[in-house]
């Protein structure tokens, strides 16, 4: 399947999808050293986002979250791409400063954890 | 989004990597929020200064950006996690201090004024009515939009910095007149006798209006200190970036009928006050959230004259107001009493939970909100009672 979204930060990446159906907070919600999701109540709790195509509806929480994504990228534990239903400031800024390909305006209900996903500019293939 | 030739050049990297990164951020935000173009800003207030919040990630980002980035418009800075000069006396850990000073150094290289205050409008960053600015620090955002009538969205650290490095911000949200009209009326039927009452009212209304725009009706007068603390409280319990007071603030008659109205009655004031009081005897008293004005410092000097402070009492203010207080002779009286100036910082962004305090007395609803989040217990009381608490015999 191929979906055309909107490129927030253009780039190419390919990886395994990790899908959260609820909004994600990186500040306090993901461990910047390991990439492990630590937010209680999130279905991805305990899983690592490292190297994954991370799919979630939108970001939430503190704007410090942008810096957490940057730190994850520096530590080599960031997702290889981010797909959102509707991107907001925290994730957009985080993706840009960390140079993580990021696409939004995507119907994320079509993607399931474990899917092989390719991101190229505004296009998502899986 | 439509970009000018100069802006296209910045995006293409012709003015360096930092400017390019900044322009990428602004263009992406413009896309997300459907901005048609960028608008020039006259000033920027940057949040994201305390090492407690930034961590090593933020520090690295700022260091990278400082390699070739430079502020293009007047840019002032939020409070840091400690006093930049008296951190040792504050009990701040040496490792934390070194990291914090590195953050400040990166900002200095970026051409940012090391003002370290949440009240830039009391320290030389004073936009005029109708000017576009890009400010972080939620209380200053609410003050700038509502009291001054300048125009800013609620910026995060990186987006404010991006505005500084390019002199621009995407034209959307509160930059546009049509988005500045009230969404909820608050009929005030309570006696507002002090800044603390305005603080409580803001805390009450922020919860109800969330990220909308309240208009307060029935408030006859409000001074700078009252408007400052109202701004802070509204932006802490809710996501308020702008409010109006009928008959007082410059854009209250922007038109548009607010469908919904709520009442802030005397019992709401009392209940809000009670909700901000936990059990326990304070072991730490702190005022100046937002940072004290010179008038507040003068009042404190009057109250502390001839008295002795027992325990820890912080008076948080900008280095600019501290300088004015030195000149006016207030500082001598305050320091003589045993109270401490906490310049450049405050009880919210300093790592007070690591300094061993358990129960904090303060005159700010915003401070209560964030200190509770940090695991401390709080007591909300007027300025005079804070002084009484700090000078009480054991």
Taking the Cβ of residue A8 and every Cβ of chain B, the question of whether any pair is shorter than 8 Å is answered with yes
For residue A84, pLDDT beyond 80: yes
Residue A9 touches chain B, beta carbons under 8 Å: yes
Contact between chains at B21 and A97 (C-beta distance less than 8 A): yes
Residues of B in contact with A9 (CB under 8 A): 24, 28
Q: Which residue has the higher pLDDT, B379 or B255?
A: B379
**3-state secondary structure string, B185-225?**
EEEEECCCCCHHHHHHHHHHHHHHHCCCCEEEECCCCCCHH
pLDDT of A108 over the 80 cut: yes
Give the confidence band of A106 by pLDDT, cuts at 50, 70, 90.
very high
Task: With a threshold of 0.85, tell me whether the complex ipTM lies above it.
Answer: no
State mean pLDDT over B206-223: 94
What mean pLDDT is predicted for residues B282-292? Answer: 97
Alpha-carbon span B364 to B346, nearest angstrom: 12
Q: Give the pLDDT confidence score for residue B136 in this predicted structure.
A: 92
CA geometry: angle A96, A102, A105, nearest 5 deg: 130
Written as one string, the DSSP assignment of B291-324 is ---HHHHHHHHHHHTT----SEEEEEE-HHHHHH
**Buried b / exposed e along A90-103 (16+ C-beta atoms within 10 A):** bbbbbbbbbebbbb
Quote the pLDDT of residue B209.
92
Residue B98 vs residue B58, higher pLDDT: B98
| Contact at CB, B48 and A87, closer than 8 angstroms | no
pLDDT (0 to 100) of residue A110: 96
What per-residue confidence (pLDDT) applies to B258?
72
* Residue B330 to residue B333: CA distance in whole angstroms: 5
Q: In chain A, pLDDT over 70 holds for what percent of residues?
A: 100
Contacts of B24 in chain A (CB under 8 A): 9, 96
User: What ranges in chain B are assigned the alpha helix state H?
Assistant: 5-11, 17-32, 51-66, 94-109, 138-143, 157-166, 195-209, 224-237, 266-275, 294-304, 319-328, 330-337, 365-373, 383-391
Q: Is B31 on the interface with A (CB under 8 A)?
A: yes
If you count them, how many residues does chain A have? Answer: 126
Q: Point out which residues pair with B342 in neighbouring strands.
A: B316
Per-residue model confidence (pLDDT) at position B10: 98
Model confidence band, residue B239 (pLDDT cutoffs 50, 70, 90): confident
Structure confidence at residue B321 (pLDDT): 98
**Hey, what are B254's tokens?**
């922007």
Of B57, B156, B159, Cβ closest to residue A70: B57
Catalytic residue among A20, A21, A25, A62: A62
Cβ proximity of B85 and B102 under 8 Å: no
> Is pLDDT at A15 greater than 90 in this prediction?
yes
For residues A37 and A27, give the distance between their C-alpha atoms in angstroms, rounded to a whole number.
Answer: 11
- What span, in angstroms and rounded, lies between the C-alpha atoms of B247 and B253? 8
Mean pLDDT of chain A, nearest integer: 94
pLDDT at B5: 98
Would residue A113 show up in a list of annotated catalytic residues for this protein? Answer: no
Query: Of B24, B31, B57, which is closest to A67 when you measure between CB atoms?
Result: B57
Q: Does B239 touch chain A (CB under 8 A)?
A: no
pLDDT at position B75: 98
Give me the pLDDT at residue B190, please. 98
pLDDT classification of A61: cutoffs 50, 70, 90: confident
Q: Is the pLDDT of residue A105 over 80?
A: yes
Identify the bridge partners of residue A59 per DSSP, sorted by sequence position.
A24
How high is the pLDDT of residue B129?
98
Q: Residue B49: which pLDDT band, with cuts at 50, 70 and 90? A: very high
Is pLDDT above 90 for B12?
Answer: yes
With contacts defined as CB-CB under 8 Å, which chain B residues touch A63? 47-48, 156-158
Tell me whether the omega of the peptide bond preceding residue B290 falls within 30 degrees of 0, making it cis: yes
> How close is the nearest chain B Cα to the Cα of A38, in Å?
18
């Amino acid at each position: 399947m191929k979906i055309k979204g909107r490129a927030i930060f253009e780039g190419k990446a390919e990886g395994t999808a990790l899908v959260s159906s609820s909004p994600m907070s990186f500040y306090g919600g993901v461990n910047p050293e390991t990439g492990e999701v630590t937010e209680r109540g999130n279905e991805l709790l305990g899983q690592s986002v490292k190297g994954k195509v991370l799919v979630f509806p939108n970001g939430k929480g503190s704007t410090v979250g942008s810096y957490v994504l940057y730190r994850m990228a520096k530590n080599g534990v960031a997702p290889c791409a981010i797909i959102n239903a509707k991107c907001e400031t925290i994730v957009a800024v985080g993706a840009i400063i960390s140079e993580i390909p990021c696409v939004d305006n995507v119907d994320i209900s079509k993607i399931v954890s474990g899917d092989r996903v390719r991101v190229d500019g505004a296009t998502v293939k899986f | 989004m439509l970009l000018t030739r100069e802006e296209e050049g910045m995006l293409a990297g012709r003015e360096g990597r930092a400017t390019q990164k900044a322009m990428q951020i602004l263009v992406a935000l413009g896309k997300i929020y459907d901005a048609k173009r960028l608008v020039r800003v006259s000033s920027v207030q940057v949040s994201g200064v305390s090492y407690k919040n930034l961590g090593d990630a933020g520090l690295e980002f700022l260091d990278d950006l400082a390699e070739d980035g430079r502020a293009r418009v007047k840019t002032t800075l939020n409070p840091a996690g400690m006093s930049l000069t008296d951190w040792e006396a504050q009990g701040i850990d040496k490792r934390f201090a070194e990291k914090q000073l590195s953050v400040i150094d990166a900002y200095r290289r970026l051409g940012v004024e090391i003002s370290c205050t949440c009240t830039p409008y009391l320290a030389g960053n004073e936009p005029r009515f109708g000017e576009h600015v890009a400010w972080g620090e939620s209380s200053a955002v609410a003050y700038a939009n509502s009291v001054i009538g300048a125009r800013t969205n609620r910026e995060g650290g990186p987006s404010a910095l991006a505005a500084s490095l390019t002199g621009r911000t995407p034209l959307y949200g509160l930059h546009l007149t049509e988005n500045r009209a009230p969404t909820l009326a608050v009929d005030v039927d309570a006696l507002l006798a002090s800044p603390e009452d305005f603080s409580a009212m803001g805390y009450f209304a922020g919860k109800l209006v969330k990220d909308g725009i309240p208009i307060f009706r029935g408030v006859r007068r409000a001074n700078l200190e009252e408007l400052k603390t109202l701004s802070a409280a509204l932006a802490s319990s809710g996501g308020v970036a702008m409010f109006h007071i009928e008959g007082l603030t410059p854009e209250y008659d922007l038109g548009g009928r607010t469908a919904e109205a709520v009442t802030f009655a005397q019992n709401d004031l009392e209940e809000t006050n009670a909700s901000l009081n936990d059990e326990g005897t304070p072991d730490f008293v702190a005022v100046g959230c937002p940072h004290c004005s010179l008038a507040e410092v003068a009042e404190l000097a009057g109250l502390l004259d001839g008295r002795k402070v027992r325990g820890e009492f912080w008076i948080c203010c900008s280095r600019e107001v501290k300088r004015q207080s030195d000149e006016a002779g207030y500082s001598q009286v305050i320091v003589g009493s045993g109270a401490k100036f906490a310049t450049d910082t405050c009880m919210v962004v300093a790592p007070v939970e690591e300094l061993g305090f358990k129960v904090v007395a303060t005159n700010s609803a915003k401070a209560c909100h964030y200190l509770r989040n940090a695991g401390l217990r709080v007591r909300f009381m007027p300025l005079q009672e804070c002084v009484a608490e700090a000078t009480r015999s054991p």
